[in-house]
Amino acid sequence: MTDYDTLLDDEMKAFIEAVKSATPHLPENPDSNDHREAYLEMCRYFAAPVPEGMTIKDAEIAGRPTQHYHPASTANDCLIIYFHGGGFVLGDLESHWSICADLSHESQLELVAVDYRRAPEHRHPVQHHDCLDVTRALISRNPDRPVILAGDSAGAWLAAMVSHSLRAETHAIIGQLLIYPTFSGDTDTGSYITHAHAPMLSREDVIRYGHLLFGEDAKEEEIKGPLRETDFSSLPASVIFSAECDPLHDDGPAYCDRLVSAGNQAVCFSQKGMVHGYLRGRHQVASIASAFGDISSAARHLSRQEWPY
């Protein structure tokens, strides 16, 4: 059994306990909305103040709600399009607004966060189509503006799938920023087994979210995801961050290997002592603050089309 007492430092352990304390108890036989409300309440607890000088505006694009983050100053005209995590079931613009605001502020890049429809009310490929439609609409407004597709967890899955879908259609997408991603890896191997009972996400959770997205009776060929693609050519430069103590850990390196083998620029950082969902603790845990700095730095490098890795 994996020894998390050794792998996690005291600040990370305190963060995990804070997440538990900030998450309301669920009623008996909770439904998806009960889980969403509990998740949102936890997210509110960790939200930080709006960075100085930042403006946040709501807008509808391609029929979907979005939030636009304009930092006090911008390094260049590159746009980050961000897709939130939450297992395709949880999360929305409110749950991730503080993360998006800090990423926009620290990277000095404008950011648009996308609110896609969620499972199980809306099964795959609705989420993909929502993100694809918004991305297309934003690119069509200014085809010459460079774009980075970014996301955490399920949002990283969506970012990668949008990149795959649009690679022959536009050259505007210059980068992917993928944080503790799920890529539809094999849940019977690797980190899915060694970290099956990780403190912030379990293998059982991953399987349950998959059933909610694709349906419990979905056939193997109906399960989609970046690692199930067959052609990895002509994809944008990609920086991937995989948390060590996460059943999803191995999806990041596996996807990175496919990208590099196909001739793309890609790097995956395996973050020691990190847990799934760690972005929330960037103001409480020194190691997470450092990791968030690395993520923001990667966004800046991608926006300048630099490759220091």
Report the pLDDT averaged over residues 121-141.
Answer: 98
Q: Name the residue with tokens 């799920």.
A: 182
Query: Using CB atoms within 10 A of its CB, is residue 3 exposed (0-12), middle (13-18) or buried (19+)?
Result: exposed
For residue 139, pLDDT over 90 is answered with yes
Q: Answer yes or no: are the C-beta atoms of 195 and 1 closer than 8 Å.
A: no
Q: Which domain holds residue 284?
A: 4-26+51-303
Q: Is there a domain that residue 45 lies in? A: no
Q: What is the pLDDT of residues 204-233, one digit of tens each?
A: 999 999 999 999 998 888 899 999 999 999
Q: Is there a domain that residue 58 lies in? A: yes
- Angstrom CA distances, 154 to 114, 170, 179, 239, 307, stand at 13, 23, 9, 16, 25
Q: Answer yes or no: are the C-beta atoms of 253 and 241 closer than 8 Å.
A: no
Q: What percent of the chain has pLDDT over 90?
A: 98
Q: Is there a domain that residue 39 lies in? A: no
The pLDDT of residue 220 is 84
Lowest-pLDDT choice from 83-97, 123-137, 192-206, 209-223? 209-223
Domain at 244, CATH number: 3.40.50.1820
CA distance 212 to 109: 34
- Name the band, by pLDDT with cuts 50, 70 and 90, for residue 87: very high
Residues in the chain: 309
Does the pTM surpass 0.95? The reply is: yes
The pLDDT of residue 13 is 98
Q: What percent of the chain has pLDDT over 70?
A: 100
For the sheet containing 266-275, what is the strand order? Answer: 55-61, 64-70, 110-114, 79-83, 147-152, 173-179, 237-245, 266-275
Q: Is there a domain that residue 41 lies in? A: no
For residue 149, pLDDT over 90 is answered with yes
Q: Is there a domain that residue 183 lies in? A: yes
- Neighbouring CB atoms inside 10 A of 58's CB total 10
Average pLDDT taken over every residue of the chain: 97
Q: What residue type is assigned to position 8 of the chain?
A: L
Q: Is there a domain that residue 283 lies in? A: yes
The pLDDT of residue 109 is 98
Q: Is there a domain that residue 46 lies in? A: no
Q: Is there a domain that residue 140 lies in? A: yes
The pLDDT of residue 219 is 86
Q: Name the residue with tokens 């983050």.
A: 69
Instruction: Count structural domains, the chain.
Output: 1
Query: Using CB atoms within 10 A of its CB, is residue 277 exposed (0-12), middle (13-18) or buried (19+)?
Result: buried
The pLDDT of residue 221 is 85
